[in-house]
Each structure stands twice: as C-alpha cells, then as structure tokens.
Amino acid sequence: MKKEFEGAESVLLPEKFAGLPALKKLRVEKKYRPSLLDNKIREGRTRVEARLLCKAKEAGVRVPFVYAVGGDYIVIERLDAITLNKIEGRGKHWKGKKSAGALGEKKISAKHWRMAGEYLAKLHSHGIAHGDYTPANLMLGKGGKLYVIDFGLGFSSFDEEDFAVDLLTMKNSLSPADAKEFVSGYLKLGKKSVFARMEKVQKRARYQEREPAE
C-alpha cells in the first residue's frame, strides 16, 4: 500500500471508512524501546491525539473528523485541501510548490493568517497546546476553508508558557507581514498575557543564542 506520508513518528495510509475517503495514521514502532513500553507509549499518544482532535472540533476549529481509534492508529477524514507550506504564498521564509487555484484560491491571503491566529486562540481557550503549529500543519480547502491537522505532538495544558511556544513557533515561520496578521487574529480571541509571555520567550531564546559557550 502506497504511503501518503512517512515521518519519524507516524505514517499515513489511504483508507476507506464506510465508503468515505479516509487516512489511517499509524504510529511507528521504535525498535530501540522494549516492546511492551513502546506499545504503551504509542497507544497512549494515539488516544491523546484522538481526544485532542475531538476537543478541537468542540472548540470551533476545523479539523479532520475522527472515524475510528485503534491501539496504535486513528482513522481520520481525508481532506480535499493543501498544506499551506505547499501553496504559493506571501511568506518569504518558505515558497509554495504548487498553486491553490484548483481550490478557488490564488494565494494565501491576510484573512487566512488571521484565521490561523483565531484558531490557535480557540485551541488555547480549551486547554489544547498544539506542539507544532506551523504552515505545514494547516490546510487550505475549497471556499477558503482553513483546517488544523496533526496533533501528534499536542497535549492538554493551560500553561501560558506552552501557549507562548505555539504562538512563537508559527510567528517564526512567517514573514513579518504575515506574522502581523497571524498575531492580530490571535489577539482578537486570545489573551494578551500569552503574547507578552511569547515576547519573553523570544528574548530568552535570543539571549541564549548570543551567550558564548564556555
């Protein structure tokens, strides 16, 4: 079976669920771990991801439907959409590989970056830290619909430090113009205190980069 995607933690396989196009996300075995421990970790992370996807949908964020959950896999809706890092966009830090014209969108607009910010704020308000909030984990579908995907590194949290890291991860992935729109979207629904914490995290990171090694 041809893999849709293969990463360090999981693989995506094409699937059918009740006649609907779907994807099976299978957690990759780690041979360096004892089998029983590995199974426990993979099953635990699978359950967490499925739970976060359902919770995100309750928060009003567009995410793939969860069709089924197994020990080390979940079956999710296959979206008719393209990840933002593969679309010709305005961001200067990454370049698109194909046009979104087939989806009725010529490029990623300011409203999409604002929407990405609003979605992240909604996740945070429901106690969800995404863990890898980047253009590669956002998808643009027909009608300009935006989706959030891959909660594999996500976890439940109400710690503003965790939220600040999410915010900074996306901000650092964008051009200044797009980052401004993204942050404005976040501040529309999110807490200003998270933005303030993000600035502290950013300053801390810059200081560590400048600090000479002993």
Handedness of CA 58, 61, 66, 69 (dihedral sign): negative
Return d(Cα 70, Cα 198) in angstroms, integer: 36
Could you report the per-residue pLDDT of 80-137, keeping only the tens digit for each?
A: 999 999 885 444 343 444 444 444 444 789 999 999 999 999 999 999 999 999 999 9
Q: Which two tokens stand for residue 186?
A: 């976040």
CB 173 within 8 A of CB 113: no
CA distances from 172 to 135, 138, 150, 160, 175 (A): 11, 15, 19, 18, 8
Using alpha carbons only, what angle is made at residue 75 by residues 137 and 100, rounded to the nearest 5 degrees? 35
What is the distance, to the nearest Å, from the Cα of residue 109 to the centroid of all Cα atoms in its chain? 19
Residue 100: the pLDDT is 44
Pairing assessment for the beta strands 155-156 and 138-141 based on DSSP bridges = unpaired
162 is catalytic: no
Per the CB < 8 A criterion, the answer to whether 135 and 112 are in contact is no
- pLDDT on residue 129: 99
pLDDT in tens, 34-64: 999 999 999 999 999 999 999 999 999 999 9
Closest CA to 122 of 178, 183, 189: 189
Would you list the DSSP string of 34-78?
Answer: -HHHHHHHHHHHHHHHHHHHHHHHHTT---PPEEEE-SSEEEEEP
Question: Is the pLDDT reported for residue 209 higher than 80?
Answer: no
132, 150, 162, 178: which is the annotated catalytic residue? 132
User: In this structure, what DSSP letter does residue 137 have?
Assistant: G
Which residues contact residue 193 at a Cβ distance below 8 angstroms, ignoring those fewer than 6 apart? Answer: 160
Place of tokens 């933002």: 84
**What DSSP designation does 87 have?**
B
Considering the entire predicted model, what is its pTM? 0.87
Phi and psi at 128, nearest 5°, equal -120, 120
Domains and CATH numbers, the chain: 1-78 (3.30.200.20), 80-213 (1.10.510.10)
Per-residue model confidence as pLDDT tens digits over 124-162: 999 999 999 999 999 999 889 999 999 999 999 999 999
Give the whole-number percent of the chain exceeding pLDDT 90.
Answer: 75
Res 33 pLDDT > 80: yes
